[in-house]
Amino acid sequence: SVKQVLAENLPRYVRVNTVKTTVEDAVDYLKRDGFAYLGQASRLEDLTLKEKYFVMDMHLPELLVFPPNTDFHDHFLYKAGHIILQDKASCLPAYLLNPPAGAHIIDACAAPGNKTSHLAAIMKNKGKLFAFDLDAKRLSTMATLLLRSGVTCHQLANQDFLKVDPDSPQFKDVEYVLLDPSCSGSGMVCLRDDASSADQQKVKARLAALACFQLRCLNHGLKFPRLKRLVYSTCSIHSQENEGVVAACLQENPGFRLVNLLSQWPERGLEPLTQCLRANPAKTRTHGFFVALLEKHSGAGRKKQ
């Protein structure tokens, strides 16, 4: 299928885990291991690489880019937690949220923890990272990933985020929320299209249910009293789960506005939400993805009902 061809041709992205190492050390190690480093990419075409060549990404400086299907699962750097195998688009949420060291953060739907470990790296492993997930099995995979990554500033909870009390004293200093809720996954080019028309009704109902859940999570995330910024992301290409959810949320929460993201990024949110980013294989050489960053208006206090 077209999707399969696209998936097989996406670059292999490797995020250097700066909790454990530096980009420089990782690059040196990979060079000694037989890879040839071409420096930092400057345009999309530079991300199309032949065997053994690699570059640094042009948008995300801790991201190294290799030819499609380069396998690192048995590589020392992967086993030692020095690198994380993570698509470029999925590195955007933590990078854009950009919490300072020492911050208190919530990762609302966190397992298996790629974005949590990225947040920890950005915070220099200092602060408090509350991570929730409903699924115990995924949460245990996450504990393993965080252990391998050397992350220690986290607190995992097997809990429904919608039942987390924003007014609990333990969250009183939470200023940042990352919300990456369950979605249709329609942006993942390795997933099969659910195309048969008999299923159309089901697909519609599922999308509506997901969008409803996503909006509830988003509204809930904005309730933390000290919140400054919240990043919302999905690996869906459906506007119903993306711009639709964000627009509805902004209407219900007039104290928040969208932050205009990365002016050099080629693919924007659908009109009128062009402050948001989209990603896809053709324009960004990644899976399909959506990111929005909401911030509290300066001076906008929390409305008391």
Which active-site residues does the annotation give? 235
8-state DSSP, 74: T
In angstroms, the CA 188 to CA 234 distance is 10
Inter-residue contact 159 to 184 (CB < 8 Å): no
Left, alpha or beta for 80 (phi > 0: left; psi -120 to 50: alpha)? alpha
In angstroms, the CA 18 to CA 247 distance is 35
Judged by CB under 6 A, the chain residues 170 through 229 that form the site for ligand SAM are 180-182
Report in angstroms how near the CB of residue 223 gets to ligand SAM at its nearest.
15
Task: By CB under 6 A, name the one of 115, 154, 229, 296 that touches ligand SAM.
Answer: 115
Stretch binding ligand SAM (CB under 6 A), from 42-50, 64-72, 107-115, 242-250:
107-115
127 is written with which tokens?
């602060």
Q: Look up tokens 């002016």; give the residue.
A: 263
Q: Which is nearer to ligand SAM, 35 or 130 (CB)?
A: 130
Handedness of CA 165, 167, 173, 174 (dihedral sign): positive
Report in angstroms how near the CB of residue 233 gets to ligand SAM at its nearest.
8
Residue nearest to ligand SAM (CB): 109
Judged by CB under 6 A, the chain residues 238 through 297 that form the site for ligand SAM are none
Report in angstroms how near the CB of residue 42 gets to ligand SAM at its nearest.
28
Report in angstroms how near the CB of residue 5 gets to ligand SAM at its nearest.
25
Report in angstroms how near the CB of residue 134 gets to ligand SAM at its nearest.
4
Task: By CB under 6 A, name the one of 130, 132, 224, 290 that touches ligand SAM.
Answer: 132
279 Cβ partners below 8 Å, 6+ apart?
88, 89, 92, 187, 267, 286, 287, 288, 289, 290, 291
Task: By CB under 6 A, name the one of 89, 91, 110, 227 that touches ligand SAM.
Answer: 110
Stretch binding ligand SAM (CB under 6 A), from 20-28, 103-111, 121-129, 221-229:
103-111
Q: Secondary structure of the chain: what % helix, strand, coil (to 5)?
A: 35, 20, 45
Task: By CB under 6 A, name the one of 11, 113, 187, 281 that touches ligand SAM.
Answer: 113
| Residues of the shown chain interacting with ligand SAM in the complex, contacts defined by CB under 6 A | 90, 109-115, 132-135, 138, 160-162, 180-182
